[in-house]
Amino acid sequence: MELLKVEDIHTYYGSIHALQGISLRVMEGEIVTLIGSNGAGKTTTLNTISGILKPRKGAVYFQGERIDPLRPHQIVAKGVCQSPEGRKIFTRLTVQENLEMGAFIRTDSEGIRQDLDRVYQLFPRLRERRRQVAGTLSGGEQQMLAIGRALMSRPKLLLLDEPSMGLAPVLVETIFDIISDINRQGNPILLVEQNALMAFLIAHRGYVIQSGRIVLEDSVENLQENEMVRKLYLGEEIET
């Protein structure tokens, strides 16, 4: 069943035509990855879906309802939540206060408590540091906190923007294992990631974006066999 449909989106920064007809979809239960180089339009795509940016043309549908005219907090209330690039945690608040901020649109106290327990089960390190000021956490712990905060809104679709950025390889593996766990627990995910090798290990389908356009769409298995993907995003030397 189709959960998210992005249809012919054109997004601008002033006169700069950043997204030039982006279309993609996410089905129930999937991890879909969007890969591309710096400046290709990955974050702009997520920000357009989440309402931070407004497209001049095209539409975004979630569960069959058009959401691009809505404000970001209204889109969160519909069930779409983003863990942003660079984490953007509240550095002066504690870990638990950051997580509670993720539930700011909710009023179900018992459900919030249950989701807080769920986040602490996914990220035991956050439980250990729940009273610690978030700005003193390591980079990996801050990334865990950013994802946990997004989960506190109880999303029906989780948008993850560069979760591996700036992390040591061992922490990258930990984060991606947890992303897989989140998906197995029922959360569909749209994953923006420069580390295509790691993204392909957990995703079901993928899109390749270049200069604001989708140039490839396929299963992860087929993308891994694509010569351009292997050369540009997997770092392989292709014999000619």
Q: Would you call 175 helix, strand, or coil by DSSP? A: helix
Residue 166: inside a domain: no
Query: Domain residues for 230?
Result: 1-70+188-240
pTM exceeding the 0.85 threshold for the entire prediction: yes
Each residue's pLDDT tens digit, 38-70: 999 999 999 999 999 999 999 999 999 999 999
Distance in angstroms (rounded) separating the CA atoms of residues 158 and 150: 8
Size of the chain in residues: 240
Report whether 23 contacts 215 (CB < 8 A). Answer: no
**Burial of residue 65 (number of CB atoms within 10 Å: 0-12, 13-18, 19+):** exposed
Residue 25 lies in a domain: yes
Phi, psi of 226 (to 5 degrees): -75, 130
239 assigned to some structural domain: yes
Q: What is the pLDDT of residues 185-213, one digit of tens each?
A: 999 999 999 899 999 999 999 999 999 99
pLDDT, tens digit (0-9, with 9 covering 90-100), for 64-117 = 999 999 999 999 999 999 998 878 899 999 999 999 999 998 899 999 999 999
- State the total domains in the chain: 1
CATH number, domain at 230?
Answer: 3.40.50.300
Q: List the beta bridge partners of residue 22.
A: 9
